[in-house]
Structure 1
Amino acid sequence: MPFSRTFIFMVIFCMQSLAALLQNGFMATVLGREWVRSQGLPAGDMIMACLAASRFCLHGISIVNNFLTFAMLFTLKNYFFILWDFINTVNFWFTTWLAIFYCVKISSFSHPIFFWIKWRISRSVPRLLLGSLILGGLSAISSATGNTIAFQMMACENYTISYRTMAFYVYYFRCHSVLMWVVPFFLFLLSIILLMFSLYRHLEQMRYHRPRSHDYSTQAHTMALKSLTFFLIFYTSYFLFLMISATHIVNVHNSWHWAWEAITYMGISLHSSILILNNHKMRKALKIKFSDLRPARS
């Protein structure tokens, strides 16, 4: 019974991961082609293109990592884990920059510092993306260093040293996870809270003024919040899953591991769907794709 339940969750995880690969591959291809053709992209589309590429790699590596661990091929898994750590850290920061970009561009705060950030954010996006890659590289180096030290020490025949080494490795990985994942997650939450507060202030101002037929500010706030708030639920579950994985409470052979993997990665996949539907270029590319497929079916 447990094996059959694990198998069902594994199949669900693989199916939704393959769907996510198609989604994010489509986004990265469309925006990447536009980037090359026009020698540039708007700042928001630039973040989306990098986010789609990182998610494409994240889903692919997560499939490989889970099955290598399930098959107990730990030597190969350790190499892929370092690559996963790099992509995962980069993905965290790309998601955070997208939330901050929405917050800065849409919010209507009147503080001088906020105006300065709004003026600088579009120009700073390439540097922020490059900084995310550097942070991902530092995270991978830190993870590789910890793995190397831990496995060399665990090879020692002394049981006490091996036990203390394993305890050090768990503690090291927890500190590493907190440093690399908590900071972008906190900034992501702060961006959503500020965006909600900005929408609340805007609606309060609209009570004292006659509303226009088309309130573009409210529409922009609402669209951004729909995208970010929906993703917040799954982003939080993904973050919690990573924290639990860092403590090694749930084993990869446990059916609940695969269930949580399916749910959390499905959330990332659904957020990619929302990004596609909310982006004009993506909707246009989808229409062209579907129109090209119709004659082939007939």
Structure 2
Amino acid sequence: MLTLTPALTVSYEAKHVFLFISVLEFAVGLLANVFIFLVIFWDVVRRQPLSNYDRVLLCLSLNRLFLHGLLFLCAIQLACFQNLKEPLSHRYETLLMLWMITNQASLWLTTCLSLLYCSKIVRFSQTFLLCLASWVSRKTHQMLLIVILSSCFCAVLCLWDFFRKSHFTVTAMLFMNNNTELNWQNTKISFFYTFLFCYLGSIPSFLIFLISSGVLIVSLGRHMSTMKAHPRNSHDCSLDAHIKALKSLLSFLCFFVVSFCAAIISVPLLMVWHNKIGVMVCIGILAACPSGHAAILISGNAKLRRAVETILLWAQSILKVRANHKADPRTLC
């Protein structure tokens, strides 16, 4: 049986390194998702029509901003305030539960993205699949609205539970007296069931995501075999669309599997082995995954790539003007 030495506290050096990495991951995630949000929102300001893909990206970037903020607050709470030899504080429990709700919403939004890819890229021949693809394109607004409202509803319930627990904390402590161990066991059971419920609720969206990604892979295989049988042009727009869509979806799948493993491992590290360093490593992994997927989304989207190139050209021109200004001898007089 695997056993780890409890590490209830960590050294100041390890804590500072963890907080530095957390700040760095938060800054990268913030910049990437704010960039995606501003580029798409600028079309709203200019009153240009948004595609369904842009709407999903807009909601996903906002979701990731909340996700990074919650993970950053979890990192601060874990490093500075939470002692693993004591029951989990209500603040830390609430942050973890809000993160689970936001992470589940992120999975549903990415599932909507995969369904959109299928409806726009894959060429269906069956009538049922054609009707289903048309329905997905028409019902994207409703799907996004359901995801947002259900996530907000769960978050409100979580916050209500937090304030209710905070209100009765003093009364509970008076009645519990020295039953700290019983309180710790109740916290463990409650957190474990909440964690299990959230991840069981992610199974339907994950299955839909896998099916739509599989359909795209099959469609890409058929398209490539058709191209080999009937070679026409070396450049094919449909092939590029397949590859970009699969790059986005498969990268999310890899990041999701890594983050899922980190989340699963963090539960026994937190509740059974009380290993604070292990939990810190898991939180670092969880914060890195959304940033990596945001970077891949930017690289695979023509509008976002053009915005990046414009910013880089603008920065390059500013640097060139400053260099010329310093090199000009007349400016030194």
TM-score (norm 2): 0.77
User: Within 2, Cα distance between the matches of 1:52 and 1:83?
Assistant: 17
Instruction: After superposing the two structures, state which structure 1 stretch, 95-104 or 242-251, moved more.
Output: 242-251
Matches within 5 A, 1:64-143: 64-72=73-81, 74-81=89-96, 83-141=98-156, 143=158
State whether residues 146 and 169 of structure 1, in contact with CA within 8 Å, keep that contact through their aligned partners in structure 2.
Answer: no
Once the two structures are superposed, residues 54-109 of structure 1 have per-residue CA deviations (whole angstroms, 9 ceiling, x without a partner) of: 11121122101221233236343345445434433322211221122112322233
Residues 192-211 of structure 1: matches in 2 within 5 Å?
192-211=213-232
SS at match of 2:235: coil
Structure 1, 173-182 or 98-107: larger mean CA deviation: 173-182
Q: Distance in 2 between matches of 1:278 and 1:233?
A: 17
CA contact under 8 A between 2:52 and 2:137: conserved in structure 1?
Answer: yes
Question: 1:292 corresponds to which residue?
Answer: 314
Alpha-carbon distance in structure 2 between the residues aligned to 1:50 and 1:33: 14
Post-superposition offset of 1:216: 2.2
1:185 correspondence with 2:194: no
Give the match for residue 274 of structure 1: 296
Q: Tell me by how many angstroms 1:7 deviates.
A: 4.1
1:235 matched to which residue of 2?
256
Q: Distance in 1 between matches of 2:238 and 2:318?
A: 42
Count residues in correspondence: 298
TM-score, structure 1 normalization: 0.85
What is the DSSP-based 3-state SS (H/G/I as helix, E as strand, rest coil) of the residue aligned with 2:233? coil
Q: Once the two structures are aligned, what percentage of the paired residues are identical?
A: 26
Matched, 1:27 2:36: yes
CA contact (8 A) 1:227 1:275 kept: yes
In 1, distance between residues paired with 2:317 and 2:186?
A: 63
Residues 1:55 and 2:64 aligned together: yes
- Alignment partners' CA distance in 2, 1:70 and 1:99: 37
Aligned-pair CA distance for 1:28:
0.4
Query: Retained in 2: the 8 A contact 1:70–1:253?
Result: no
Looking at structure 2, the residues matched to 44 and 15 of structure 1 have their Cα atoms a distance apart, in angstroms, of 29
**CA deviations over 1:153-188 (Å, ceiling 9, x no partner):** 975528596466335414531342134323222222
| Unmatched tracts of structure 1, length 5 or more | none
Residue of structure 1 aligned with 2:22, choices 13, 16, 30: 13
Higher mean C-alpha deviation, range 75-84 or range 126-135 = 75-84
1:244 touches 1:250 (CA, 8 Å); kept in 2?
no
* 1:157 aligns to 2:176 (yes or no): yes
Comparing 229-238 with 247-256, greater Cα deviation is found at 247-256
Partner residue of 2:194? 173
**How much has 1:269 moved relative to structure 2?**
0.9
Measure, in 2, the Cα distance between the counterparts of 1:259 and 1:69: 12
